[in-house]
Chain A
Amino acid sequence: MNNSSIYENSFLLGGGEMGKLIREKVWDETSLGNPSGWKQSLKTTITILLNTRFPMFLFWGPDLICFYNDAYRASLGTDGKHPGILGEKAEVAWADIWPVVAPLINKVLIENESTWSEDQLIPIFRNGRIEDVYWTFSHSSVQDDDGVVAGVLVVCTETTAKVNAYKLLEDSKRYYNNIMQAPVAMCVFIGSEHVVEIVNAKMLEIWGKTAEETLNKPIFEGLPEARGQGLEEIINTVYNTGERFVANERMLMLPRNGRVETLYLNFVYEALTADNGTSIGIVATATDVTIQVEARMKIEESEKRFRYVADSAPVLIWMSGIDMSCHFFNKAWLIFTGKTMEQEWGSGWADGIHPEDLSRCLATYINAFNAREEFYMEYRLKRADGAYRWISVNGVPRYTIDNTFEGYIGACMDIHEQTIYQEKLKENEERLNVVIAASELGNFEFNFSEGKLLYSPRYLQIFGHSKDTEKEHADFLKQIHPSDLDKRNEAMQYAINSGVLGYEARIVWEDNSVHWMEVRGKVFYDVEDKPIKLIGTIRDTTKIKKHQQELEEREQKFRLLADSMPQHVWTADTEGNLNYFNRSVFDYSGLSPEEISAVGWLAIVHPEDRDENVKHWMHAVKTGTEFLFEHRFRRHDGTYRWQLSRAIPQRNPDGETQMWVGTSTDIETQKTFTRELERQVHQRTRQLEEKNQELEKMNVELNSFAYVSSHDLQEPLRKIQTFANRIIEKEERHLSPKGLDYFRRMQQAANRMQMLIEDLLTYSRTNTSERIFETLSLTDLLDEVKADLKETLIEKNAILYCGKMCDVCVVPFQFRQLLTNLIGNSIKFAKTDIPPLIKIESEIKIFHEENEHNLPLGQSFCHIRIEDNGIGFDQQYNERIFEVFQRLHSKEDYSGTGIGLAIVKKIVENHNGYIIAKGKAGVGATFNIYINNET
């Protein structure tokens, strides 16, 4: 069907918005089908529905398809069911209120009865929300063409506005009644005369008047008692200005039971104004608070009394309110803390509490406060002098007579001394516990009458049980080693009698291991001297015992070892008292241990050795140094034998001497041997001494020989020479040529003998003469020598070249001799064809490295070098030339005794020096002399 056909359905014409919607709706998909096929009765009903301004709604057909008109549509609001429910099944369209709607519809459909509902609340979804909507409506049936009920027509009016208006009306009615029946006294004054318009019973009660006496009369006429109490001015002001007036606990004199009484009132005057703003009257409300005020005054009075009492109390008192903060401190408190009430107010008091105690105190206070419980705590409070004192406080919640919680009151006491004492006690106890714990003692307490034993965990441990086991006294008793049981029982018996318990016993653990314990205790008695309890400690001494045993075993071993030794072994304590001797000592001396301890060990020492022995021994003991001494011990047969005694201090790890262990070894044989050796050495020494003396004597003789040589030998020789000379001079012509020759040879021999004697003398003098060292310039020394040799030097045309020179520490006359000899030597062994050139130089020299002459390193030497250009010598003779009478050349070629260089060497040796000769035949000789420069 097309749209044009819709217009053919004339019943759908008009009808405003809903008419349009119905026309445009595609009905073919609904159970009603195309409108052209709709029954006449439906068409007629829709025509009525669309053309009435009365809100109508129609459910039609078995599906109860929904129709409604423009008037109804307003009730659906916006954003609601409209327009979705048009043509929709009722069940779907009104799903939200179906339980309300369905019975109404059914009633019409099934019973064919019309319904009437007035101002029924049916909340519906509209305007985007569920709204409370009140309806007055009627459901009636619509019959179809065949007279069968085919639909339900709902004619309705939304009465929400009406209902709400009525509700407001009800409220205002109630308001009036409220005024009239309010527990608060109320009244309304109208006009400038303040005529009482409305007054409720409460107000009349306050006024002490009846309604008749006051209603419709100016207030001060009806209530003349109120005059002259300042109310007139107040009422006028409120009336004139429109400003509200509030009075709190205002005292007023009003009539009561025929007389005037004092009342306390809270009241409010509120201006009533017309729409134009002019005052038309006053609404007054009042509350009689006389009882409260009087009660409070009483409380205030009692509080004052309380404060007076509190302030005069010697204890510190504070009070807090329900907000936990404190608002009262008594005088004692303020004096104690030295603060003012303002300082302590609220939570200012917390400043005075020791910082270490504050959080704990607050926690206690707050917890108690919240639980409304009493509390007790101790804390340190700062006194006015700055010292913190221990304070105890008892806090109790406060309640009014009617059981209203008001806060806390606390009383504090200075318990400083007490606390300190307690703390000390606690400290002592802790200390004791620490000591007990550290000493690993187990504690026990035995109650004699009950036979009950209390014990510490350590006690259990010592008995080999874990800490939390429960044991009876008998259980422990069973653990005591059977062999020690008697000992234990005896000790207990003794303890009961004497009060002191002490014994050591073995205990057997569950694993059958045996342990040692040491028990100490004290018995306490009652007034009748009956033992009540025994308090004591036990100690695990297993280790100590084991150690002791080991010690004993070791001691045993030591004794066994010592006794098996042939040497004497002994020990001494730290004082030096000998306290042990091995068997050897007894065997040797023939004394028993008792005899030795009776007479003392010194008795076996030879009387001659005793003093020294004691002296040495005490020195060793005093200084802790090793003792080493030789002395004689008396043997059992009365003979004395030499012993070498040695003792070493035994020290602990701290180096303290614990004991001395000594040995004495028989050294008689060695001693005899040594004595023999000594005797022999002595003899030998004496022989040597004799030899020495002989030698000395010989030396003296030798010296006197030198003396004799110098004078007694030289003398005759010189005379031989002189007289021979005289003969040649005076008697030469009387001699035959042969005789003259012999004579001259005799003279030469005599001359030669003189040279020998002189050189020998010089040589021997270098040995024996006194040696006085002087530091002098080598240059000066050389000058002297040069002067001595002047003529020879000139004669031989010799050049003496002196280079660098240093000072030298020598025996001057010896060194002069040395230089003379060396220079003389060079001149003597000069080459015949060239004049001798002798170079001399000296310098200080220290050798730091190995050198060709193996001179010592690091020592300062004066090195003198004498070099010539003479005939030299073969290097192989560099040692031999220094030997006495060693000549490399015949005396016919080179005169000389062969002693000159020996003298040189001797002098160098006298100076702890070294001389090294270097020579090359035909080239020259060099003498290097090193004289120690450090003396």
Chain B
Amino acid sequence: MAINLMRILLAEDDFDDCELFADALDEINCGADLKTVNDGEQLINFLTHCMESLPSGLFLDLNMPGKNGMECLIEIRQKEIYNSLEVIIFSTSFDSQIVEELRKNGARHYIRKPNEFSQLKKVIALAVDSINNKPGNSGNFELKP
């Protein structure tokens, strides 16, 4: 086991998307360890129970039943212990107002779910790079394939 195994957390209620994300992450072969939660409640629960081994990056879907992505982001950014956790918003919609709001609330990147699998792989790779290179300049807030 590599000591510096990268831990990635995906908060996504759609199982298709979960599968696609896992496939894409697998294919880019970055050796990241992926954990998946399916809604906001689960996400907050998970984070409270893995204080010692916080994931490096959280791919957060906005549209989730119960506690949605925005609420989760705000809650996470309110706690200093999660400072090292990079939050990458992973959403279907693209609303510039919302995007702006997310940035203000401390998201690291915004990824609009691409329509092509190859593009999905690209943006995930970009995001993983960005997490790894932290705190190097991450360039654009919105990551595009």
A residues apposed to B, CB below 8 Å: 710-711, 714-715, 718-719, 721-722, 725-726, 729, 750-751, 754, 758, 761, 765, 769-770, 813, 816-817
Contacts and interface: CB of A to CB of B under 8 A. Distances in A.
Given A710-B92, A722-B114, A813-B96, 12 more contacts: A710-B93, A715-B14, A718-B115, A722-B20, A722-B115, A722-B117, A725-B116, A725-B117, A725-B118, A750-B115, A754-B115, A765-B95
Interface string B103-145: 0000000000111111010000000000000000000000000
A722 B93 contact: no
Contact of A715 (B92, B97, B100, B116): B92
Nearest to A710: B93
B117 A813 contact: no
B124 to A, nearest CB: 13
Contacts of B113: 718
A755 to B, nearest CB: 11
B28 to A, nearest CB: 15
A725 B96 CA distance: 27
A726 B117 CA distance: 6
Nearest to A758: B94
17 contacts: A710-B92, A710-B95, A711-B92, A718-B92, A718-B113, A718-B115, A721-B115, A722-B20, A722-B114, A725-B116, A726-B117, A729-B117, A750-B115, A751-B115, A813-B96, A813-B97, A816-B96
A906 to B, nearest CB: 15
Contact of A813 (B20, B100, B116): B100
Contacts of B38: none
Contacts of A711: 63, 92-93
Nearest to A713: B92
Interface in B57-93: 63, 92-93
Contact of A722 (B94, B95, B116): B116
Contacts of B16: 719
A725 B100 CA distance: 30
Contacts of A719: 16
A714 to B, nearest CB: 5
B117 to A, nearest CB: 5
A761 B117 CA distance: 24
Nearest to A719: B16
A729 B118 contact: yes
B121 to A, nearest CB: 11
Contacts of B96: 813, 816-817
Contacts of A761: 95
When A and B form their complex, which 10 residue pairs have the shortest distance between CB atoms, in order from nearest? A721-B115, A710-B93, A725-B116, A813-B96, A714-B92, A725-B117, A711-B63, A726-B117, A718-B115, A715-B92
A345 B97 CA distance: 121
A817 B120 CA distance: 25
Contacts of A770: 97
A770 B14 CA distance: 31
Contacts of A816: 96
Contacts of A729: 117-118
A492 to B, nearest CB: 108
A716 B97 CA distance: 23
Contacts of A750: 115
Contacts of B92: 710-711, 714-715, 718
Nearest to A715: B92
A816 B92 CA distance: 21
The interface centre, meaning the residue of B94, B115, B116 with most chain A CB atoms within 10 A of its CB, is B115
A710 B97 CA distance: 14
Nearest to B93: A710
Contacts of B116: 721-722, 725
B93 A714 contact: yes
A711 B17 CA distance: 13
Nearest to B62: A711
A661 to B, nearest CB: 68
B116 to A, nearest CB: 4
B102 to A, nearest CB: 14
A264 B139 CA distance: 159
A708 to B, nearest CB: 11
B40 to A, nearest CB: 16
B100 to A, nearest CB: 7
A719 B94 CA distance: 16
A769 B120 contact: no
The interface centre, meaning the residue of A721, A816, A817 with most chain B CB atoms within 10 A of its CB, is A721
Contacts of A769: 97
A750 B94 CA distance: 18
A729 B118 CA distance: 9
Contacts of A721: 115-116
B7 to A, nearest CB: 25
Contacts of A754: 115
A711 B68 CA distance: 13
A770 B97 CA distance: 10
Interface in B14-45: 14, 16, 20
Nearest to B96: A813
Contacts of B94: 758
Nearest to B115: A721
The interface centre, meaning the residue of A715, A721, A750, A770 with most chain B CB atoms within 10 A of its CB, is A715
Contacts of B115: 718, 721-722, 725, 750-751, 754
Contacts of A817: 96
Contacts of B63: 711
A715 B115 CA distance: 10
B32 to A, nearest CB: 21
A758 B97 CA distance: 15
The interface centre, meaning the residue of A711, A750, A770, A817 with most chain B CB atoms within 10 A of its CB, is A711
A574 to B, nearest CB: 69
Contacts of B118: 725, 729
A502 B80 CA distance: 112
B9 to A, nearest CB: 21
Nearest to A718: B115
A770 B101 CA distance: 13
A718 B63 CA distance: 15
B144 to A, nearest CB: 9
A769 B95 CA distance: 11
A816 B96 CA distance: 10
Contacts of B100: 813
Contacts of B117: 722, 725-726, 729
Contacts of A714: 92-93
B125 to A, nearest CB: 16
A747 to B, nearest CB: 9
A915 to B, nearest CB: 21
A816 B97 CA distance: 12
Contacts of A725: 115-118
A813 B92 CA distance: 19
B93 to A, nearest CB: 4
A728 to B, nearest CB: 9
Contacts of B95: 710, 761, 765
The interface centre, meaning the residue of A710, A711, A722, A816 with most chain B CB atoms within 10 A of its CB, is A722
Nearest to A750: B115
Nearest to B120: A722
A14 B116 CA distance: 201
B72 to A, nearest CB: 17
A415 B13 CA distance: 131
The interface centre, meaning the residue of B93, B97, B100, B118 with most chain A CB atoms within 10 A of its CB, is B93
Nearest to A814: B96
A718 B119 CA distance: 12
Nearest to B99: A813
A726 B115 CA distance: 10
A569 B92 CA distance: 80
Nearest to B100: A813
A772 to B, nearest CB: 10
A176 B114 CA distance: 185
Nearest to B16: A719
A425 B72 CA distance: 112
A722 to B, nearest CB: 6
Nearest to B17: A719
A729 B120 CA distance: 13
